[in-house]
Amino acid sequence: MKLRFFLVFAIAFVLIFAVLNSRFIFANIKFWINGGVALSPALSDLSKTEPNTKIVLPDKAILVIDNIGVSAPIVFGVGDDAKNIYNNLEKGVVHYSSMPKPGMDGVSIILGHSSAYPWYKGAYGSVFALLGKLKAGDKIYVEYGDGRTFAFSVKQSIIFSPFKEDTRLAQIEKSEKPTLILISCWPIGTNYKRIAVQAELE
């Protein structure tokens, strides 16, 4: 009797988890089928643009990470209000407004969902589902609406708690090189911790 109850409970748990995290599961299956690469649309121009604090960059850009199949608009000018950031994640990935834009001198932070419920109305509910699969040397591109493209190379990824101070996060946020940090919830389906991927401009 106890064994039957345990089996029914385990099967129900697995089914509910699969339904609630269907986007993440689909992304992983696609990644596995493609031999560890989730292809995304190629950039029209991969020429590098040099960083500069004085340059003016447009508010229209796309984040492209070929290795994990990401091609998403970057939403700028959202501000620092958590609710406003969360609402704008339905439109793509969100640039943390108090930081410089990707390609400028300094550290730029971009936030994105790793998993969302099936009824989530945005198209980007699991845009960062495979963020943990990025390795040192993988490329991240930011292509602006005016054609300027910035190429970043992944240096490291860390898992941290947003509820306490983490010296590793503080170190990468103070990088002297033009740096891009991608942040999402971790593990998938929870907001218990965060994953941060650090990439430096090539």
Strands (E), the chain: 61-65, 70-75, 93-95, 107-111, 139-144, 149-160, 179-186, 193-201
pLDDT band at 4 (very low <50, low <70, confident <90, very high): confident
pTM: 0.77
pLDDT digits (tens, 9 = 90+) for 32-91: 555 554 444 443 344 445 555 567 899 999 999 999 999 999 999 999 898 999 999 999
Q: In the predicted model, what is the mean pLDDT of the chain?
A: 82
How high is the pLDDT of residue 170?
82
Label the pairing between strands 179-186 and 107-111: parallel
Question: Mean pLDDT over residues 172-188, rounded?
Answer: 88
Q: List the domain range (segments joined by +) for residue 56.
A: 2-201
Q: What's the pLDDT at 46?
A: 40
CA distance 85 to 138: 27
Residues 6+ apart with CB under 8 A from 99: 106, 107, 108, 109
How many domains does the structure of the chain reveal? 1
Residue bearing the bigger pLDDT, 18 or 120: 120
CATH code of the domain containing 100: 2.40.260.10
C-alpha–C-alpha distance, residues 124 and 13, integer Å: 25
